[in-house]
Chain A
Amino acid sequence: MSYWKLVWKNLTRRRSRFVFTLSAIAVGIASVVTLLSLGTGLEAEIRKQADVLGANLVVTPRGWCAYEQISVLTGESLPEAIPSETVRAIERIGGLEAVPYLTQRAVLHNQPVPLVGILPERMRAFKNWRVARGDYRLDGSHVVVGSGISDRFRLAVGDTVRIRGQEFAVSGILEQVGNRDDLAVYMDLAVAQRLYGAGDKVSFVAVRVDDIGRTDDYIAAIQSAADVDVVSDKQLLRSVLAIVGSVGNALQLIAAVAVLAACFGITNTMMTAIYERRREIGILGALGAGRGTVFSVFVGESAVYGLLGGIAGVVAGFAFSYFAAPYIGQNEFTAFVGSEQSVSVFDLGITIQALVFAVLVASLSGVYPALRAARLSPVEAIRYE
C-alpha cells in the first residue's frame, strides 16, 4: 500500500469524524478568506477613490474629523469652511496647482445626487475631462453632468434640471471615466456658492505639486500661508484605512479564534486516532517502518485535513463574503462606497495564501500527535488491545 493510500484510508476510516474535523478547519479557513476578501476589496476601493481625486495634498479646514476626511474621498457633501482668500493664498505658492471644491447635494427625481461647485476650466485641465455630448459650459444657467447621471436620469443635452428652485440647462455630458466623477452634477463655483448660501467659501482644496519629493515643504508653505490643515493623499489613505482596520480587528479576532479551534480539533482527532490505531502502529514498526515513517503518516493525515478543509473553506469564504459582506463588513467607508464594490469575489492570491496557511497550520497541529505515535515502541503497541 502506498504512503498516500495509507493516509487516505486512515482518514476516511471514521467518516463522521473526518467530516466534522474537516468542517472545523473549513470554518476557520472560511473566516480567514472572508476577512482577506473584504480587506483587499475595500483597500482597493479606497485607493481607487484616492486616485480619482488626482491630488497629492488636500487642504481642509482645521479640526475636520475622520468622517469628513472620508467624505473627501467619497464625494459626499461637506460643510463650506475655507474662504476664497485662503484659496488665493495657496494658489500664490509656487510649484503647485490648487483646485477648490464645493461639494453639495442636488435632487433629481426625488433622489439626492452629488453636486460639485468648480472653477470650470481649471478643473477640466486638472482632471483631463472630455465632453461626450454638447458643450462644456458652466454659468448661471448651465451645468454639465457626468455620464452616470445622464444614464441614470435619462438626461440629454438641453434638458433642464431644477436645483434649489432655479432651473439650469444641461449644456454637456462628460465622457465616462469609470469612477465617481461620472456620478455628479458640475456647476460653476460662484453660482453654487450663491445658490447654497456658502458665501465665498469652499469645502476643501485639492493640490497637485510639481515635485513630489518636496511634499513636506509644500505642506509647511501652505500652513504658513493659511490657517488650515493639510493632509497628503497617503495620510488621507492611512487615516481611512485605520478606521477600516479598526473594524477589521473584530473580524481578525473571529478568524483567529476559528482557526485556533480548528487546530485543536485536528490535534484532538489525531490523538484519538493514535489510541485507536496503537496496534496498527506497532505492526508498522515491527514490519520495519521507522519512527520517521510513522511520524510522516500522521503529519500527512493532518496536512490532508488542511488541504481539503482549506479548499472547502476557500469556496465557503468567497461565497460567504459575497452574500454576507453588506452585513459583516459595514463601516464608515463601506457605508458610502457600497458593499458590492468592496468585496473580492475571487482572488487567486487569497486562494493560494489560504491553502498554504491551511496546510501549514493543520500540519503543525498534527506534529504533537505524530511525535507521540512515533515514540510508541512496537512491542508495547502490539501488546495493546
Chain B
Amino acid sequence: MHHRIRLSFFALGLAFLAGSAFAGFGFPSAKGLDVFDVLADPFAYQGVITVRGGVMATDVGRGRFELVDYREYRGCRSVSCAPKWLTVLYDGKLPKKRDVVEVEGVVEKNAAGAGGFVLRAREVRVK
C-alpha cells in the first residue's frame, strides 16, 4: 500500500514538473539585444554584440537571413507580420525559417541590408 502511495506522490510531482515545463518552455527562450533595439541606432553598438530574434527568411546562396524581433515573434507567433527586420550575413550553416536564434556578431555598413547596414555574424545559435 505504501508503495502505491509513494508511486502516486511521485507521479503527481512528475506531472506538476512536466506541466510547469510545458507552461514555461512552450516558446524557446533566447538572450541578447532585441532587433528593434539594434535597428533604432545600429552604429551606436560597439564591438561584438548578441542579438536574439526569429528567422523571417533565408538566402543560402548569398549567406544571409533576415531576423525579426524576438518579442514580437513571441507575441504574434508569426515571422511574416514584422514591420522591420535585421539583415544578418553568415558564412556558416544558416538557420531555418521560424527558428529562434541568438546571433553573435558586429554591426557593419553594408548596402546589402535595409538601412545600409548588416549584422556580420560570427556565431549563430539555434534555440
Which residues on A are within 8 Å of B, measured CB to CB? Answer: 16-17, 20-21, 23-24, 27, 31, 65-67, 70, 76-77, 79, 104-107, 110, 112, 115, 162-165, 196, 243, 247, 250-251, 253-254, 257-258, 261-262, 265, 268-269, 272, 324, 327-330, 332, 335-336
Contacts and interface: CB of A to CB of B under 8 A. Distances in A.
A208 B98 CA distance: 40
Contacts of B24: 324, 327-330
A20 B71 contact: no
B13 interface: yes
Contacts of A250: 19, 22-23, 26
Contact of B44 (A107, A258, A262, A329): A107
A21 B5 contact: yes
B80 interface: no
Contacts of B16: 27, 31, 254, 258
B72 A162 contact: no
B9 A23 contact: yes
Contacts of B23: 247, 250-251, 254, 328
A330 B41 CA distance: 28
Contacts of A272: 1
**Which of A21, A77, A106, A268 counts the most B-chain CB atoms under 10 A from its CB?**
A77
Given A65-B81, A112-B40, A261 B71 contact: no
A77 B71 contact: no
B84 A65 contact: no
B5 A17 contact: yes
Interface in B8-49: 8-9, 12-13, 15-16, 19-20, 22-26, 29, 33-34, 36-37, 40-41, 43-47, 49
> Chain A at the B interface: mostly helix, strand, loop or mixed?
helix
Contact of A254 (B2, B20, B34, B76): B20
Closest 3 CB pairs of A and B: A67-B75, A105-B40, A107-B44
A19 to B, nearest CB: 9
A66 B75 contact: yes
A254 B21 CA distance: 11
Contact of B36 (A105, A163, A330): A105
A105 B6 CA distance: 54
22 contacts: A16-B5, A20-B2, A20-B9, A27-B16, A65-B75, A65-B81, A67-B75, A79-B84, A105-B41, A106-B41, A107-B40, A107-B44, A163-B41, A164-B44, A254-B19, A254-B20, A257-B19, A265-B12, A324-B20, A327-B24, A332-B74, A335-B74
Nearest to B7: A20
A24 B47 CA distance: 53
